A and B are shown apart, each in its own frame.
Chain A
């Protein structure tokens, strides 16, 4: 209880500081965050990261000399409602640009609604190949997370027999379609592929299949609670001694649910971890805990992506000299900017970025490799 009171006070203080800034604000930026729904877990860290980005942008002169103010909407709801919420910010409150951290269904609905009339930065990990006027993407796509990582693991861990397991929807299927190519190129083979419905909470039969397949590596594209349940049972059956695991959406919260006992040789590939030790990432993490306290919602790749998105928006709008979509599209290719993730370049409306490989053994991510300037093969042709 005491904790929530301090949090309340902290956010009230935060609102006051932002309030003084907003008195002089000229540009409103709509930030679309999941406050509810399955991704609701990431709402608080997303908001916090976005606010830090706005402070940073305003401290360094704003967008084209004008200060920015963030206006938030909850998009952890079905696409039709999410579009309405975004529309209220756009037409009602006069937001001139959007940054969104939400699922793909909402993104597709928003692309249709925005119709290329307003710049829109989409920030979470996603399946790739989404292209539209005024749409810029900072999230990692499967090719970025896997192309450098699978050969690296094949060499360092000596693994060659891969089992692919994911939830039954397009992101896991698209990821695995690409993974098969990288596995073959690295001299490995796929010994099993399986998709489970979201309603399944136990994975005993899948684990038995993995054991029988003789796999020495498992690529996991299960999400959220399913990933936690799978990984807990995986280690319970002692399979962690037989095979390494690689996940492309295992962030700090998921690892906390899996637990230290069950995370041996569990690797995760992402553009961001809270434990990245580069100067940029360390100072970002320090700013975050200074602003929100030690028991603030833990930093993770999804929440932090909102920071990346706002920084791209500022860099791109400053390069184009306006928030006009045609001008920004013309200036987009080759935009470079630096964030906690590292040095980034915009190519094909997607963000070429540093990809980190972390080992979750012992219950905390330890960065074991990083790959600079990895471009997405699912970007847009200009």
Chain B
């Protein structure tokens, strides 16, 4: 019982952290309340559907996923998002409309029905005395390595500092030679690409249909509300608390109580500690 519970916790927390990463960047750094975040996860999950319907080999799933998501994000940034930096409520309405548009577009191309994707690694592994899906183990390890690399890069790179300067005072940032238009576009596209990557990685383990994005948007918001915006630590803490609560209570009591606890936690945080546990951006 316990070893599977631990592995389930690791799976839920790591995948939620990956899904919420893009939202943390776009919402936390650029102050764009991206309601279309889940739709980028959805588009990423459709990448294997695109490659198989075009008859392309499996290894092209990753490039197709990133190119598709980056292309959509680039167009949206140029047409809509760039006018809305710093206007959080306007961005919420605009991206909600974009979310509907993206769902309808995918429905038009692939239909309303469910799609399925085979995992690249099948079968189960015996870990800590219990059988666990091999693909999930690989994903958990991959996400841990990915986040470690991101943390290392974030601590050394000047990009994070430039973004902070840009959000804090755009005019001053421009004056000292930061190309804010390119920087914010880059951050937005990068955030969307991580969401698409999350969708691609999760695809073999979930349902795939045009409406699937909503689940991921809501859980990501919960994680950010609890963890706080603007830092990787906050993201990790938020994902840990939200996914951990659902997963643990779901296992020992029932799924209903797990979900109830997640909702209660999110409301309490919004009410009593709106900046979350860890907030480095203000």
**Chain A interface residues (CB < 8 Å from chain B):** 1, 4, 40-41, 168, 194-197, 199-202, 204-206, 208, 212, 225, 228-229, 232-233, 236-238, 253-254, 256-262, 297-298
Contact = CB atoms under 8 A, between A and B. Distances in A.
Contact of B133 (A1, A208, A236): A236
A205 B211 CA distance: 24
Contacts of B280: none
Contact of A238 (B12, B124, B211): B124
> Max chain B CB contacts within 10 Å: which of A205, A225, A260?
A205
Nearest to B207: A228
A298 B112 CA distance: 11
Q: Range of interface residues on chain B?
A: 35 or more
A200 B259 contact: yes
B108 interface: yes
9 closest A-B pairs (Cβ-Cβ)? Answer: A257-B114, A259-B116, A228-B207, A205-B251, A205-B250, A204-B8, A236-B133, A238-B124, A225-B207
Nearest to A204: B8
Contact of B124 (A199, A200, A237, A298): A237
Interface in B1-35: 1, 4-5, 8, 11-12
Contacts of A199: 259
A236 B135 contact: yes
A202 B12 contact: yes
A200 B114 contact: no
30 contacts: A41-B112, A168-B256, A196-B254, A197-B255, A199-B259, A200-B250, A200-B258, A201-B207, A202-B247, A205-B250, A205-B255, A208-B1, A225-B114, A225-B207, A228-B114, A229-B207, A232-B116, A232-B204, A238-B133, A253-B113, A254-B114, A256-B115, A257-B116, A257-B208, A259-B117, A260-B116, A261-B116, A262-B116, A297-B113, A298-B113
A311 to B, nearest CB: 26
B236 to A, nearest CB: 19
B239 to A, nearest CB: 14
A297 B108 CA distance: 13
A225 B124 CA distance: 24
A23 B4 CA distance: 66
A1 B109 CA distance: 7
B213 to A, nearest CB: 12
A54 to B, nearest CB: 24
Given A197-B255, A208-B8, 6 more contacts: A41-B113, A196-B256, A208-B251, A225-B211, A258-B114, A262-B116
B139 to A, nearest CB: 11
Contacts of B11: 204
B205 A233 contact: yes
Contact of B115 (A197, A257, A298): A257
